Amino acid sequence: MAWVKFFKKPGGNLGKSYQPGSMLSLAPTKGLLNEPGQNSCFLNSAVQVLWQLDIFRRSLRQLPGHFCLGDSCIFCSLKSIFTQFQHSHERALPSDNLRHALAETFKDEQRFQLGFMDDAAECFENILERIHLHIAPDSETDACTSKSCITHQKFAMTLYEQSVCRSCGASSDPLPFTELVHYVSTTALCQQVERGIERSERPRAERFGELLQAACTFGDLRNCPSNCGQRIRIRRVLMNSPEIVTIGFVWDTEQSDLTEEVIRSLGSHLNLSELFYGVTDEHAKKSDLLLVGMICYSSRHYCAFAYHSKSSKWVFFDDATVKEVAIPIHVS
């Protein structure tokens, strides 16, 4: 099961402190209903985090049109939830239309079907992929350059991987690919934490990006491209500057004893130069991303935390329940 962690660039309001007693309210933050048997918590959590991502919410609002699929249109049903978030007077709204659209869209694959629980990170990723298809249906997923495609303009990490042999200098052909969620194994992450504790003085949360990179490449050894006999690590290089970076933590078992270790490793800042072996984009080299959202899974249930930039507060979303929370991870 996955945890998702979202980072985005510091926005205009992010540093502004909340004034107690001011007229600033947490609206529009509303819950999403999850009736018994619906098992929609995975979808509700993904939608809440998307809504709270200022960059995503504003970009979606500004889009002029899309390739519509009518009754089973994920784009339309997401947009309709967003409109209701903004204008409805209800405290909690149904997410049924989006649930139906998702079930209809993935009918053949038997995924995200009505009444069944599913994975929130994969749901989040699939919603983004669908948005790409609704906006730029003719464009290849891995080579989408459409300026209006929120998915690829804001979320996609354009990477290439290559192995370079330190012993004989041979290198493999660079293999380009695109990622919307950067998945990291929690087992590998905790192994890196243990190795790092012996070697480094820096607190682990400050080395979060490095730990993630090490966890991603550790154990992934390839043969030297010229077969000199060396086993070498793969290098991943980031070529663009994504505005939102999503990390998906992969748990090897449903009941993991690594939860506490993983939480202690989370940093509130993420440096892209640390996350990847190399970064070619000048903007990306300098960017310091801030944690703004999390989707968590425990006891067969998903909930979400998101940073509400207008009030500089963290908000907890558990289906229909919405609460303002104090979160120990510091965002400044």
Q: Which residues bind Zn ion (CB under 5 A)?
A: 68, 73, 75-76, 132, 136, 144, 149, 151-152, 165, 167-168, 170, 224, 228, 230
Of 41, 123, 149, 190, which is the active-site residue?
A: 41
- Work out the end-to-end distance of the chain between its first and last CA atoms, rounded to an integer number of angstroms: 30
Q: How far is the CB of 73 from Zn ion (least distance, A)?
A: 3
Using CB atoms within 10 Å of the CB of residue 10, give its burial: 0 to 12 exposed, 13 to 18 middle, 19+ buried. middle
Q: How far is the CB of 258 from Zn ion (least distance, A)?
A: 34
The token pair that represents 28 in the structure block: 């529009």
d(CA 157, CA 179): 5
Of 123, 301, 303, 308, which is the active-site residue?
A: 301
DSSP H helices, 204-329, are 208-217, 259-265, 272-275, 282-286
Q: Which residue number, 140 or 257, has a Cβ lying nearer to Zn ion?
A: 140
Q: How far is the CB of 138 from Zn ion (least distance, A)?
A: 10
DSSP H helices, the chain, are 41-52, 54-62, 74-87, 96-105, 120-135, 150, 186-199, 208-217, 259-265, 272-275, 282-286
Cβ-based neighbours of 218, under 8 Å, separated by 6 or more: 188, 191, 192, 233
Look up 165 and say whether it is catalytic.
no
d(CA 309, CA 294): 15
The token pair that represents 194 in the structure block: 């243990």
d(CA 39, CA 130): 21
Look up 41 and say whether it is catalytic.
yes
Q: Which residue number, 75 or 305, has a Cβ lying nearer to Zn ion?
A: 75
Q: How far is the CB of 175 from Zn ion (least distance, A)?
A: 18
d(CA 58, CA 71): 24
Number of H helices, E strands in the chain: 11, 15
HSE on the CB side for 16, CA within 13 Å?
11
Q: How far is the CB of 98 from Zn ion (least distance, A)?
A: 12
Q: Which residue number, 41 or 98, has a Cβ lying nearer to Zn ion?
A: 98
Q: Which residue number, 78 or 294, has a Cβ lying nearer to Zn ion?
A: 78
In single-letter form, the type of residue at position 253 comes to T
Q: Which residue number, 129 or 281, has a Cβ lying nearer to Zn ion?
A: 129
Q: Which residue number, 129 or 261, has a Cβ lying nearer to Zn ion?
A: 129
Q: How far is the CB of 197 from Zn ion (least distance, A)?
A: 32
- At 163, which helix (H) or strand (E)? strand 157-163
Residues recognised as catalytic? 41, 301
